[in-house]
Structure formats: structure tokens, C-alpha cells
């Protein structure tokens, strides 16, 4: 007797899209502990979750541009929710973060840390009651940080520093200027705290070949050994991230070069 498949729901697809942006395509495997855990809580098999992620990958133009194809078979609902998610990160990224937390803990406000092959619940500090707006912003920022850091392999894109506690998901187009791009992972770069501050202040940027460019005002301090070691050492070096990652969008970096960078 044939087994009836349980249709995927919009909420489940939003959870998978949250994971999709935090886990590399090469990790969409039924043996991945993250997929095993999520599948069990959904009442599905790890294989079905891995397959659905691969179905979603067939809709990803970023992968297609690099010659990577997902599995055929994306449903009408897959296409609809995909379009909604990537059209409105501002609303749906925080919603997906809440749905994932609800699935994992029963508490939509629980902070969930997702890495390519690890998912766990982080301690939640006690704090005064927050407004719904504040909660939504916090969920969105958590999603953005994890998606960006994971896309860079948990390393600084300039120095290769792999201490996650010292890494920041730097906005390319600043938060107060990004509008609908605030939570787009391609508007982020994984940088260590020092280079994040320099990037935010326009002391460094990246050219069209993704090579590090230093502002004249920063070069004026090369006589200081610390400045020379931290910046001159990496001048002209390319931004590094895993080959399967999409990397920053060129239009966002163009904005940073022309609107944020301290030009001569």
C-alpha cells in the first residue's frame, strides 16, 4: 500500500529557508546533525528534509550562475514561499527565526545558534519586557549574523581569523540606509571587530575584484607598526570566502565605495 506524503506547510518551508541561508549547499545531506534534529521535530525523515532543501536550491539563481543545480521537483508552494522570503527579508527572516525557535524549544523567543553541522539553544539572558518591534529586530539580527558568518566559513574575510566571538556580520550598505536589504546575507561580510569598525567608518573597502582598498587617511598611519600589521599587510589582497558561497552583491559594494568609503 502506497504511503501518503504529508504536504509541506508554509511554516515548515520558512524554517527550511532559514536553514538554507545558514548551511552550505554541500551540507544538504541526510547525515547532517542539523537536518536530523530538525526532521525529527517536524515528524519527517532527514532524507525528506535534505531533498526539500535541494528542491529549493533549484530556484536559487546564485547557485545557477555558478553552474550548481538543485533537484527538480520544487512545488508551487516552494516557489511562492521562496519568492516571498527573498523579496521581503525584513519581515520573513525574523518570522522564520521565530518558527525555528518554536520548533526547537516551544519558545519563539529562544535564541537558536545554527552552524553548518551544529544547532543548539543559547542561554537567554533575563531582560525587561521588550516591545514586539525590538523582538523582531533582535530575531532579524540573529538570523543575519549566523547567515553571514556561516557563508564565510566562520572566518574573517580579510584575515582568516576563526574565533567566532571576535567576528561581526558587517553591513555593506549601512543598517540605516539599507531599507529592504538590511537582512540580506549578501549585504554582509564576516569581519573581525577591528576591520569591521574600519569598514563601517569608511577606512577600508573592496574594489570590483574584491581586493582590499585602504583610505588615504588610514595610510597616513602606516608608521605605526600596529596599523601597518593590521592593514598594510592585507592591502590589495582579495576578500576570501568558500567557493560555494555567493559573496557580496556588487551593487552593495559599489554603494560602499561611493557613499561610505573615505575617498581622496
Quote the CA–CA distance of 227 and 241 in Å, as a whole number: 24
- Label residue 3 by pLDDT band (50, 70, 90): very low
* Co-location of 144 and 25 in the same domain: yes
Q: Residue 224 corresponds to which cell in the numbers above? A: 605605526
* Co-location of 199 and 105 in the same domain: no
- Number of DSSP helices (H) and strands (E) in the chain, helices first: 12, 6
| 159 is a domain residue | no
| 158 is a domain residue | no
* Co-location of 115 and 183 in the same domain: no
DSSP state of 80: H
SS3 state of residue 171: strand
Q: Examine the pLDDT at 1 and tell me if it is beyond 50.
A: no
Asked if residues 229 and 170 have their Cβ atoms less than 8 Å apart, the reply is no
Number of domains present in the structure of the chain: 2
Instruction: Name residue 104's beta-bridge partners.
Output: none
Q: Which residue has the cell 555558478?
A: 66
Q: Residue 127 corresponds to which cell in the numbers above? A: 531582560
| 254 is a domain residue | yes
Last residue of a domain, one of 116, 151, 186: 151
Asked if residues 45 and 25 have their Cβ atoms less than 8 Å apart, the reply is no
* Co-location of 168 and 134 in the same domain: no
* Co-location of 216 and 96 in the same domain: no
* Co-location of 112 and 173 in the same domain: no
| 3 is a domain residue | no
| 177 is a domain residue | yes
* Co-location of 23 and 59 in the same domain: yes
Q: Examine the pLDDT at 138 and tell me if it is beyond 80.
A: yes
Asked if residues 62 and 85 have their Cβ atoms less than 8 Å apart, the reply is no
* Co-location of 87 and 189 in the same domain: no
Quote the CA–CA distance of 97 and 164 in Å, as a whole number: 20
**Residue 192 contacts by C-beta under 8 Å, 6 or more apart in sequence?**
156, 158, 159, 161, 166, 167, 168
Last residue of a domain, one of 151, 177, 202: 151
Per-residue pLDDT tens over the stretch 72-128: 999 999 999 999 999 999 999 999 999 999 999 999 999 999 999 999 998 876 555
Q: Examine the pLDDT at 162 and tell me if it is beyond 90.
A: yes
* Co-location of 30 and 115 in the same domain: yes
| 107 is a domain residue | yes
Element (H, E) at 51: helix 46-57
Q: What's residue 128's pLDDT?
A: 58
Supply the mean pLDDT for the chain: 94
* Co-location of 18 and 103 in the same domain: yes
Domain extent at residue 206: 164-260
Average pLDDT of the residues in 136-140: 94
Asked if residues 196 and 170 have their Cβ atoms less than 8 Å apart, the reply is yes
| 4 is a domain residue | no
- Label residue 242 by pLDDT band (50, 70, 90): very high
SS3 state of residue 66: coil
* Co-location of 14 and 139 in the same domain: yes
* Co-location of 55 and 129 in the same domain: yes
Average pLDDT of the residues in 195-205: 98
Last residue of a domain, one of 127, 151, 175: 151
Amino acid at each position: 500500500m502506497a504511503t501518503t506524503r504529508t504536504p509541506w506547510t508554509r511554516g515548515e518551508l520558512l524554517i527550511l529557508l532559514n536553514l538554507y541561508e545558514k548551511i552550505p549547499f554541500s551540507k544538504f545531506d541526510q547525515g547532517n546533525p542539523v537536518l536530523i534534529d530538525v526532521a525529527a521535530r517536524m515528524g519527517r525523515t532527514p532524507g525528506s528534509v535534505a531533498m526539500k532543501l535541494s528542491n529549493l536550491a533549484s530556484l536559487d539563481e546564485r547557485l545557477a550562475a555558478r553552474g550548481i543545480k538543485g533537484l527538480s521537483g520544487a512545488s508551487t508552494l516552494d516557489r511562492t514561499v521562496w519568492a516571498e522570503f527573498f523579496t521581503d527579508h525584513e519581515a520573513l527572516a525574523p518570522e522564520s527565526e521565530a518558527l525555528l525557535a518554536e520548533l526547537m524549544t516551544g519558545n519563539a523567543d529562544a535564541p537558536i545558534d545554527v552552524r553548518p553541522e551544529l544547532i543548539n539553544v543559547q542561554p537567554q539572558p533575563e531582560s525587561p519586557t521588550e516591545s514586539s518591534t525590538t523582538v523582531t529586530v533582535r530575531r532579524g539580527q540573529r538570523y543575519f549574523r549566523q547567515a553571514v558568518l556561516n557563508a564565510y566559513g566562520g572566518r574573517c574575510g580579510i584575515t582568516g581569523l576563526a574565533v567566532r566571538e571576535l567576528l561581526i556580520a558587517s553591513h555593506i550598505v549601512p543598517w540605516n540606509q539599507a531599507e529592504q536589504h538590511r537582512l540580506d546575507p549578501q549585504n554582509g561580510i564576516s569581519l573581525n571587530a577591528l576591520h569591521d569598525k574600519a569598514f563601517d567608518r569608511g577606512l577600508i573597502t573592496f574594489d570590483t575584484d574584491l581586493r582590499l582598498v585602504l583610505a588615504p587617511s588610514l595610510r597616513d598611519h602606516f608608521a605605526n607598526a600596529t596599523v601597518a600589521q593590521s592593514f598594510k599587510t592585507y592591502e590589495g589582497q582579495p576578500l576570501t570566502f568558500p567557493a560555494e558561497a555567493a559573496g557580496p552583491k556588487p551593487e552593495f559594494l559599489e554603494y560602499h565605495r561611493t557613499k561610505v568609503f573615505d575617498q581622496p
